[in-house]
Structure 1
Amino acid sequence: METMKIYLVTANKHKAFEINALAGDEWSIMPVASIAGDKIDIEENGATFLQNALIKVETFKGLRVPLIADDSGLEIDALGGFPGIKSARFMEGRPYTEKMEELLKRLDDEKNRKARFKCAAVYYHPTGVVLAAEGIVEGTIAKEIRGSQGFGYDPIFIPDGYEMTFGELGQDVKSSISHRARAFKRLFSLLRLFFSSTDTTVHR
């Protein structure tokens, strides 16, 4: 299959790097800002990660180009799933170090430290094709911030099967097991299936 250009709706450079690495040679992932010209400032008011991802692509559907977007977050069982869909907006404007310190403070002396990262990824084509996939990685919250790799809440999340946080494990491991990796691997698999089993000339 020839390389397809898809525009990614995000202003997060770390996220863009991860998704580009997952795309491989089949997909040419471009920032939507390269053709939109505007700052990406979207009101993510959906009730789920999937709804927020759909809101992102809907915002730019007027460009009439293939789009991908995702929404993701950290759910902590002892906090009732918080911060969840509010993960990025929690203590908005404050550095993630402070956000993590606040979450650890709320979990002080808490024995149940089960948590998970969730990601919903969406592909949109101006002909009306919409594909979606979800990725989840289960784990626990560390007792302290550990590691400086990755971004967001990575330094306090220990994925099941490991003793180190995402912040300590590094990008290679994270790219193979993370919620975003799982979601986009599934999404790209759906795209391959779609383009191999359908007369898709109109969708290119």
Structure 2
Amino acid sequence: MKLCFATNNTHKIEEIHNLLSGRFEILSLEDIGCREELPENQTTLEGNSLEKAMYVWEHFGVSCFADDTGLEVEALHGEPGVYSARYAGLQRKAEDNMNLLLKNLQGKTNRKARFRTSITLILNGKVHQFEGVVNGHIDEIHRGTKGFGYDPLFVPDGHTRTFAEMDISEKGNISHRGKAIEALVAFLIKEIAE
């Protein structure tokens, strides 16, 4: 089965290829001739993933899935949430976002956080949504060089290392995106079997 993963983020594409381990043929936006930036104008992760997937379906007629992920920090009332990628501004720089997050957490003892991923699949015109969540906390310093985004600050529950200190397979086994993809794959396998 061929599916387009509606993202231009090379880190996400690498993670997805690793998680799907050859079970499906994944096309990139470039593969289907989509070179424009996909819209993300909604106020929820679910809304953004739906908007991106719908754009690909409506403009290219390709079955696809799109994700949106947010880091939700308890002491900051769920911030940065849906604005995680542009928390420190439209330049979307991970370093700026992490520094702003650490600044906003100064003096706060509650460092609980969670990563949440919403995936929208449009398969032959029908919409299906999946979610993955991983709980953890925000470290006080950046640790690790792997991963992307807030990975150098996020320590998942039950672990002592940040996501950025884990290799891609280890992270994928416990991550929010991994859990959402697991739900997506289970659904697709069931669809193929029927």
TM-score tier (shorter): over 0.9
1:87 correspondence with 2:84: yes
Contact 2:86 2:93 in 1 (8 A): no
Distance 2:188 2:92 in 1: 37
What's the offset of the Cα at 1:89?
1.8
Equivalent AA in structure 2 for residue 48 of structure 1: T
Unmatched 5+ residue regions in structure 1?
A: 198-204
CA contact (8 A) 1:120 1:134 kept: yes
Q: Do residues 196 (structure 1) and 189 (structure 2) align? A: no
Residues 1:98 and 2:99 aligned together: no
Which structure's CA Rg is the greater one?
A: 1
**Does the 8 Å CA contact 2:120/2:129 hold for their aligned counterparts?**
yes
Runs of 4+ in 1 over 4 A off after TM superposition: none
The percent identity for this pair of structures is: 39
1:144-187: CA deviation from partner (whole Å, max 9, x where unpaired): 11111100000000000001110112212111000000000111
2:54 to 50, 58, 65: 58
> Which string of whole-angstrom CA distances, capped at 9 and with x for unpartnered residues, describes residues 73-96 of structure 1?
100011110000000121221521
**Among residues 39, 42, 45, which one is paired with 2:38 in the alignment?**
42
CA–CA distance in structure 1, aligned partners of residues 192 and 126 of structure 2: 11
Distance 1:94-1:12 versus aligned 2 partners, 3 A rule: closer
Letter in 1 for 2:164: G
Post-superposition shift, 1:50? 1.2
Give, as a single letter, the amino acid of the residue that structure 1 aligns with 2:105.
L
Are residues 1:153 and 2:150 paired? yes
TM-score by length of 2: 0.94
RMSD over equivalenced CA pairs, Å: 1.2
Match among 118, 131, 146 for residue 120 of structure 1: 118
Deviations 1:5-43, CA, capped at 9 Å, x for gaps: 11111010000110111112220111022222423x123
Partner residue in 2 for 1:74: 71
Structure 1 residue 68, shift from structure 2 partner: 1.1
Q: Is the 8 A contact 2:3 2:25 kept in 1?
A: yes
Length, aligned pairs only:
192
Could you tell me which amino acid in structure 2 is paired with residue 131 of structure 1?
H
What is the CA–CA distance in structure 2 between the aligned matches of 1:37 and 1:104, rounded to whole Å? Answer: 36
Q: Name stretches of at least 5 consecutive residues in structure 2 with no aligned partner.
A: none
**Contact 1:120–1:183, Cα closer than 8 Å, also in 2:** yes
In 1, distance between residues paired with 2:134 and 2:34? 35
1:10 aligns with 2:26: no
